[in-house]
Amino acid sequence: MPVALQAFGLSDPAGRLYRELLRTPRAADAELTARLGLAPEQLRSARAELADLELLRPSWDDPSHLHPVVPELGLAALLSRREAELLSRRQEFERARAAFGQLRAEADSERHHTRTEHLIGADAIRTRLAELGAGTSAQVLVLSPGGGPANAPDERNRPGGPGEPDGPDGPATGPLGESLSAELLGRGVELRTLFTDAVRRHPPTVEHARRLVGLGGQVRTAPALPLRLVVLDRETALLPLDPERADTATVLHGRGPVAALCALFDGLWHSAAPLCHPRGRDLNGMTAQHYALLRILQQGDTDMVVARKLGVSERTVRRLTAEALEVLGARSRFQAGARAAERGWLH
């Protein structure tokens, strides 16, 4: 099968005509249209194209007749021209890449100079996370009490309240989302994600967590998490600007300022349980979630704050509180706290 000449910039009719003229340079137009299956106007257009590309020249014997230029001259000239065009485009690409690098460096310098950024809206948070993720090379740490910034609209719309993992709107995929998590793991970035124990009762979230583990990620759960958090390479952190709003965030830069957040994550991580380890009631008839609830209530937090830290709804907070009161034989939260302290359950 003959090689097409489109790589030289020829159209298909012009390429076929050139081949035919190389074989029969004196062929008449009627003969050429019959052999090539071209209409007369197509033949004229193809011949004009070959002339523009200098693949046809006036015959020495009959200047009114256009004679094909041999490939050693005609196609070689076109090849050199294409090579020059490619070199020019390559140089343009290198200039564009250099300009991109310079602008990115200027933007990063400005961000690091200001030390913090404020993000409002789920789109702004998603976009900034994608930018930060693209520059991450070693490790990402995630605290996800009940979804995160990337799921902000769904979090607010769930009937159980912010962070409710068993709502109808699908899995809590954490602040990073499914695609960014997979992209990071595909590049060999270490990804550690902490959910609350509450997600163990939410099959879509459990399935998401298992997919992360299958890709090489690490997933654990803790009874309660104090806030949403993403730490990238232990020198950039994204955390809530307003704890009451899932669609706000602050970006903090610098190893020094981020070190305390890394220590917080490390402490929670070491005491958390891998997803494959069951979380049941102990000999006291209490779960880790019950103990976390009592410790948070001791701080005087409202049910809304407790719900956010446990990753559950306020309705679930009331149910857990009633269960803890029953185990402790207490009539009030204050009495439950006092009895739990007496038994050493709050440490």
Per-residue model confidence as pLDDT tens digits over 42-54: 888 988 888 888 8
The pLDDT of 172-184, averaged and rounded, is: 81
pLDDT at res. 164:
37
| Least confident piece of the model among 158-167, 170-179, 233-242 | 158-167
Quick check: 230 pLDDT over 90?
yes
List, by residue range, all CATH 3.30.870.10 domains of the chain: 117-274
Q: What is the pLDDT of residue 4?
A: 63
206-240 exposure pattern, b = at least 16 Cβ within 10 A, e = fewer: bebbebbbeeebbbbbbbbbeebbbbbbbbbbbbb
pLDDT band at residue 163 under the 50/70/90 scheme: very low
Q: Which residues have a Cβ under 8 Å from the Cβ of 164 and sit 6 or more positions away?
A: 146, 155, 158, 307, 311, 312, 313, 316
CATH class of the 117-274 domain in this structure = alpha beta
CATH class of 288-342: mainly alpha
- Rounded to 5°, the CA angle 194-278-180 comes to 30
C-alpha 221: how far from chain center = 23
- C-alpha span between 281 and 326 (Å, rounded): 14
Instruction: Measure the CA–CA gap between 200 and 210, rounded to whole angstroms.
Output: 11
- Residue 161 clears pLDDT 70, i.e. is over it: no
CA–CA separation, 28 vs 112, rounded Å?
74
Mean predicted confidence (pLDDT) in 267-276? 83
Contacts of 300 by beta carbon, 8 Å cutoff, 6+ apart = none
Confidence of residue 331 (pLDDT cuts 50, 70, 90): confident
pLDDT of 237: 93
Q: In which band, very low, low, confident or very high, does the pLDDT at 112 lie, cut at 50, 70 and 90?
A: low
Which of these ranges, 85-89, 121-125, 193-197, 322-326, has the smallest mean pLDDT? Answer: 85-89
Of the pLDDT bands very low, low, confident and very high (cuts 50, 70, 90), residue 234 is: very high
Residues of the chain with CATH 1.10.10.10: 6-69, 288-342
6-69: what fold? Arc Repressor Mutant, subunit A (1.10.10)
Residue 261 pLDDT > 50: yes
Task: Give the list of residues 6+ apart from residue 308 with CB closer than 8 angstroms, or none.
Answer: 145, 146, 162, 163, 243
Give mean pLDDT, residues 127-144.
91
Distance of alpha carbon 313 from alpha carbon 116, whole angstroms: 31
d(CA 321, CA 315): 10
pTM for the model: 0.54
Binned at pLDDT 50, 70 and 90, residue 169 comes out as very low
Q: What is the DSSP string of 164-220?
A: -TTSTT----TTTHHHHHHHHHHTT-EEEEEEEGGGGG-HHHHHHHHHHHHTT-EEE
pLDDT per residue as tens digits for the range 217-229: 899 988 888 888 9
Q: Dihedral (C-alpha) 327, 330, 331, 333: value to the nearest 10 degrees?
A: -90
What is the C-alpha separation between 241 and 10, in angstroms, rounded? 60
